Amino acid sequence: MDGLMQKRATALQDHDTEALRDLGAAIRQRALSQLPDLLEQLEANCTRNGIQVHWAQDGDQACQIITDICQQQGARSVIKGKSMVSEEMELNHHLAEVGITALESDLGEYIVQLAEETPSHIIMPAIHKNTEEISELLHDKTGTQRSQDVDYLTASARAQMRQAFQRADVGLSGANFAIAETGTLCLVENEGNGRMSTTVPPCHIAVTGIEKVVQHLADVPPLLSLLTRSATGQHITTYLNMITGPRKAEEQDGPQAVHLVLVDNGRSDIYQDDQLLDTLRCIRCGACMNHCPVYTRVGGHTYGTTYPGPIGKILMPHLLGLEDTRDLPSASSLCGACGEVCPVRIPIPELLVRLRREAVDGDSSRPSVVRGHGVKRHWTEVGVWRAWAWLNSHPRCYRAALRLVMALRFLSPRRLGGWTRYRKAPRPAARSLHQHLLQRNRSSS
């Protein structure tokens, strides 16, 4: 990760970084503040351009929509560019259930798929594997000759994928940005597999979260600038692919059908709350992971969720509910590095603290939009705090309790489970601080 940190810092040198981040945050916030209107505008413009727009409330519904489109196409194979949303909804699994093969074409995703694993980083999915492991994997699964030569391994994967692109019935992609003003999908990549997937097969399905819409075409250059520099330290990726419609009558290539599936999957819940809304500004650059001391040591799989790292800790509690993600907001030292490098200024540390409170807070005075809030609420803990609060607001009872505790101090337990494995058990003092101060005041007067 040190390399990625350095590359990001270097790439941002020739810009006023802070002003650019302010602009990025403002652009994303401007889109979010008008989200329902922009989604309608996006739909209208896409439809006018010939792109069919579908809406899905959750992952299962989105999978159903995509499966239906594939079956209408008579599809047996889907080639995937790259889409974290499709991972979120476990699309490959759903397609397999109806006999449709989904093949990943991003090199890292391809490696991860061959290994029957899940991605461990949102930009570099196979970052947890070294060359030898990849060589062995390609050898076992595809017959590739063992080699430590990265160029050879890459060329071998390329040759295999070239056949797959030509055979695929449907190409599936995500979208880095969807432009409401023009009804255009923007895809960023280095390898060319995304362009292959969105051009060669007769049908292209783009699936994205509802929060990915931006208002104007002019909003793209600043976000693109921030995304590529923050992600891999490049001034720009090899390809920016902007798709505004299916193949026209006189054109010779490109898909005859283009579909856009807009997925909610909990995002509209996040949208309800002024503070949590900041989470939706994310442009999926991965910089927070690259700079996170926890992520860099435990790796992406440890989180057990589609999105790992800092962004995963503030997003997955909403997508999956806190019942299944209760420990994620606590898996942080709150060092603040993620907040410092976020290109769109998401205050990740503050959101982590907020979600920690949500996990224990069962308060009904204000409705919570976080599913599973209060899941870590323990009645013994609640009882202790309530008793403590009551005691401290009743001075006579407090003093009586204090005297009782001091009088019985020798009865305090010597063993307190794990705490006393390495520490001495605490024992109340013979005299309270109040008494010490009273004595001191008395002797000084």
Q: Which of residues 338-397 bind another protein (CB under 8 A)?
A: 367, 369
Residue (254 or 336) nearer to another protein, CB: 254
Find out whether 177 and 223 touch, Cβ atoms under 8 Å: yes
Tokens (6 digits) for 10: 């270097």
Residue closer to another protein (CB basis): 37 or 340: 37
Rounded distance, CA 334 to CA 402, Å? 36
279 binds another protein (CB under 8 A): no
Are the C-beta atoms of residues 210 and 264 closer than 8 Å to each other? yes
Candidates 359, 380, 389; CA nearest to 371 is 359
Residue from 6, 9, 40, 438 binding another protein (CB under 8 A): 40
Name which position in 247, 299, 353, 402 contacts another protein (CB under 8 A): 247
Max CA-CA distance within the chain?
101
Q: Does 32 bind another protein (CB under 8 A)?
A: yes
Piece in contact with another protein (CB under 8 A), picked from 93-101, 159-167, 390-398, 424-432: 159-167
d(CA 302, CA 153): 28
Taking the least distance from each CB to another protein, the nearer of 218 and 387 is 218
What the block records as the tokens of 261 is 């599936």
Among 60-68, 169-177, 379-387, 395-403, the segment contacting another protein (CB under 8 A): 60-68
Please say whether the beta carbons of 305 and 316 come within 8 A. yes
Task: For residue 216, give both structure tokens.
Answer: 């104007």
Looking only at residues 296 through 335 of this chain, which bind another protein when binding is defined by CB under 8 A?
A: none
Closer of 245 and 339 to another protein (Cβ): 245
- Say how many residues touch another protein, by CB under 8 A: 105
Q: DSSP labels for 124-141?
A: STTTT--HHHHHHHHHHH
Question: Which of 6, 10, 33, 71: binder of another protein (CB under 8 A)?
Answer: 33
Distances (CA, A) of 431 to 311, 357, 434: 49, 35, 8
Question: Which of the residues 80 through 99 are near another protein (CB under 8 A)?
Answer: none
Residue 244 binds another protein, judged by CB under 8 A: yes
User: 170-173 and 203-209 as β-strands: parallel, antiparallel, unpaired?
Assistant: parallel
Beta carbon of residue 186, minimum distance to another protein (angstroms, whole number): 9
Q: List strand residue ranges (DSSP E) for 14-157, in order.
A: 51-56, 77-80, 101-104
Least separation in angstroms between residue 369's CB and another protein is: 6
Q: Point out which span in 146-154, 281-289, 347-355, 378-386 binds another protein (CB under 8 A).
A: 146-154
Among 177, 271, 295, 307, binds another protein (CB under 8 A): 271
35 binds another protein (CB under 8 A): yes
